[in-house]
């Protein structure tokens, strides 16, 4: 399984199990975001600590997750950025758009009224 989802009450953690988030698997991540949002879960924490590479398709999937959460009044938090992924986000200047945390504990602080 490329991605795992675990509901934690007010939010869902999605874990990326892929080395490369690219055109081969980005659609699967988008579908998981849509399914999660359809269940009325509007706060998602995405753990991409196992992902060492991300291309524009992967970045697009991340932005879709962010938009779905924001449009439904929730929060999208990304954590575990590896150096190459972090560099892509910075080059794209998306660090000002995305909520980025270093680990799960910090990620949870971005979610209103939730404690780890």
Whether the Cβ atoms of residue 68 and residue 37 lie closer than 8 Å to each other: yes
In the prediction, which pLDDT does 65 show?
Answer: 97
In the prediction, which pLDDT does 1 show?
Answer: 85
- φ, ψ (nearest 5 deg) of residue 7: -80, 135
pLDDT along the chain (116 residues), means of 10: 92 97 97 95 96 96 97 96 95 95 94 67
In the prediction, which pLDDT does 9 show?
Answer: 84
Residues 6+ apart with CB under 8 A from 23: 55, 57
In the prediction, which pLDDT does 109 show?
Answer: 93
In the prediction, which pLDDT does 73 show?
Answer: 95
The 3-state secondary structure of 92-112 reads CCCCCCCEEECCHHHHHHCCC
Looking at domain 3-109, which of 3.30.750.24, 1.10.10.10, 1.20.210.10, 2.40.10.10 is its CATH number?
3.30.750.24
| Alpha-carbon torsion (1, 39, 110, 92), positive or negative | positive
Question: pTM of the entire structure?
Answer: 0.93
> What 3-state DSSP class applies to 1?
coil
């Amino acid at each position: 399984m490329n991605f795992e989802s675990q509901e934690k009450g007010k939010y869902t953690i999605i874990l990326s199990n892929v080395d490369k988030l690219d055109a081969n698997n980005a659609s699967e991540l988008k579908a998981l975001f849509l399914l999660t949002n359809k269940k009325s879960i509007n706060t998602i924490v995405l753990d991409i600590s196992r992902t060492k590479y991300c291309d524009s398709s992967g970045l697009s999937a991340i932005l879709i997750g962010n938009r779905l959460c924001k449009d439904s009044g929730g929060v999208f938090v990304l954590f575990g950025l590896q150096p190459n992924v972090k560099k892509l986000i910075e080059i794209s200047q998306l660090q000002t758009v995305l909520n980025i945390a270093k680990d799960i504990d910090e990620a949870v602080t971005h979610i209103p009224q939730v404690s780890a």
